[in-house]
Amino acid sequence: MTGSDAVFAGAIPELYERYLVPLIFEPYAEDLARRVAELRPARALEVAAGTGVVTRAVVRALSGPVELVATDLNQAMLDQAEAVGTAQPVRWQQADALRLPFPAASFDVVFCQFGVMFFPDKVRAFSEARRVLRPGGTLVFNVWDRIEENEFADIVTNTLAEVYPARPPRFLARTPYGYADPDAISADLASAGFSAEPRHETLTAHSRAASAQVPALGYCQGSPLRTEIEERSGADLAEATAACAAAIARRCGPGPVDGRIQARIVTITSPY
């Protein structure tokens, strides 16, 4: 991962919320929220909350009084989340997942949607989650499967390799879709002090949009891929986005588009 891979700033948070959230994150937010609610936590911590798509889903799914703290490294993402709002109060707090500012054994559940791929030291982040979990508490998170299993992201990556053959932008394959090996994830959890065997599940869904322009805008302009594109010479951001939209339309048709997406859900219990 490069230094810019975890930077969501400028226009990215608003475009991320407008395009990527309904495109690829909402289908998995409801699933993760259901899993959190079934654990019936009194205190729950979300790390890498982004613009709050899972936070909002968890608020809807929870019953009874629950203290929910939602954190993210990027204050701009939390600002966007607060601007959208939630049905019940949430404590929004800027925090680094590698150095969580909470006492040990202070949460029943720690959850994260598509965030662990961005952690530069995953073992340390998992260790921090274990530290703040009460004994017997649960860590639940999801990660994207391989990029080849996620149609729009794969098309965008391959198209940009043609647009910029000398320096292909590899953000998507490198980071968000680069942590899909269950054995590697299990090994990192064990290194972080989790002694239980994690449960791995694969969940396939569909990514739908009104036109090919939507996924092209979402990936090229609403994620850190934008930074990689803007660093390249040759085609500008608009031209790169248009090339990706045209490639998606060739594959999926000129009207509404439907692409396969696939993720892995990992659940593990903190040691007693």
Asked whether residue 203 is domain-assigned, the answer is yes
Within a domain: 7 = no
What percent of the chain clears pLDDT 90, i.e. is strictly above it?
90
The domain of 113 spans 12-269
pLDDT at 169: 97
Could you give the number of structural domains in the chain?
1
Residue 256 lies in a domain: yes
Check: CB of residue 53 under 8 Å from CB of residue 113: yes
Q: Is the predicted pLDDT of residue 2 greater than 80, yes or no?
A: no
Residue 189: what pLDDT? 98
**Residue 194: inside a domain, yes or no?**
yes
Residue 119 inside a domain? The answer is: yes
Assess whether pLDDT exceeds 70 at residue 3.
no
Residue 5, in any domain of the structure: no
Q: Are 224 and 8 in contact (CB under 8 A)?
A: yes
CATH classification of the domain holding 54: 3.40.50.150
Predicted confidence (pLDDT) per residue in 169-227, tens digit: 999 999 999 999 999 999 999 999 999 999 999 999 999 999 999 999 999 999 999 99
Flag whether 210 is in a domain.
yes
Per-residue pLDDT tens digits for 60-101: 999 888 999 999 999 999 999 999 988 888 999 999 999 999
**What mean pLDDT comes out for the span 154-161?**
98
Share of the chain above pLDDT 70, in %: 98
Per-residue pLDDT at 15: 93
For the stretch 26-58, pLDDT in tens is 989 999 999 999 999 999 999 999 999 999 999
